[in-house]
Amino acid sequence: MKLARPYLPLLLVPLLVILLLLTSGSWLVARKVIAFLIMPAGFLWIAGLTAALWPGLRKRTRGLLLVLWIVYSLAGNRYVGIELLHSLEEPYLRYEEIAEPLDAAVVLGGATVRTPSGKPALGMRGDRVLRPAIHFFEGNIKTLICTGRSVTEIGEDRLLSREASEIWQGLGIPKDRIIEISEPRNTSEELAAVKNLIESNPQWERIGLSTSASHMNRAMEEARKHGLEFIPVPSDFRSSPQPYVSHYLIPQSWGFQAVQSALWERLGSLF
């Protein structure tokens, strides 16, 4: 018994797994719990807790491992990501519907990808491209302005504006209702180019700015620095309330992405 006593804290690991399974509510969710636990992020989560509880560790080492495990747990937690995004998105919920038609809307690039054959497709934030198209067909936007290019890949720069334009045309939006601005490489450059375009189109009175809701505050601040006042046209909302699901407590890709996106926006606002 004395030999087994140092290993008793390790029982917390199987107890945690059993608790997740018992609170799953159904065999379908329980299977997902098991699947997430054997995925790399979940496996590291269990391995990290096991390491922190391993007998014979110095108190300082154990404390450090537990702190790292808690940070890792929070960084990949879906609910933490939702809460962090919600504080960024909440001010723009009332702009989800366009009250009055817009003469034009600036759609910031960064929501498209290329298929292996080179065709444009919607990426993870594809709603940034799809939502403005829906507004167009509803008669709420008369002209779509797409911007940006990607300079982070090997070979020629990807024209994000061209990719969005091709997708819109494939949906049936006339080419003459789309304006491409392909030179800018970041939000600041995009808005500087947009300012020149707006100055050459004085007939535009109501102009919207469309991007992810979590990015909207930073984009609007950047627009004001360029002397531009836009009507927010948010998309890509990702902070909808989620019910309790046991496998959401396990660190996973969606959680890491949400937490990183929220922290990235706050970091961008600081600098």
Which pLDDT band, with edges at 50, 70 and 90, does 4 fall under?
Answer: low
**pLDDT at res. 3:** 46
| Residue-range domain boundaries for the chain | 5-87+252-270, 98-235
Q: What is the pLDDT averaged over residues 171-189?
A: 89
pTM exceeds 0.75, yes or no? yes
**Alpha-carbon radius of gyration of the chain:** 24
pLDDT in tens, 87-112: 999 999 999 999 999 999 999 888 89
Mean pLDDT of the region 159-176: 95
Query: Of the candidates 270, 197, 182, which has an alpha carbon nearest to the alpha carbon of residue 230?
Result: 197
What is the overall mean pLDDT for the chain?
92
- Element housing 62 (H / E): helix 59-75
CA-wise closest residue to 174 among 147, 204, 129, 136: 136
State residue 33's pLDDT score: 96
Q: Mean per-residue pLDDT for 253-262? A: 96
Instruction: For 51-100, write each residue's pLDDT tens digit.
Output: 999 998 999 999 999 999 999 999 999 999 999 999 999 999 999 999 99
Domain covering 98-235: architecture: 3-Layer(aba) Sandwich (3.40)
Q: Is the pLDDT of residue 1 over 90?
A: no
Mean local confidence (pLDDT), 235-243: 93
Residue 29 has a CB neighbour count (10 Å cut-off) of: 16
30 token code pair: 């329980």
pLDDT at 144 over 90: yes
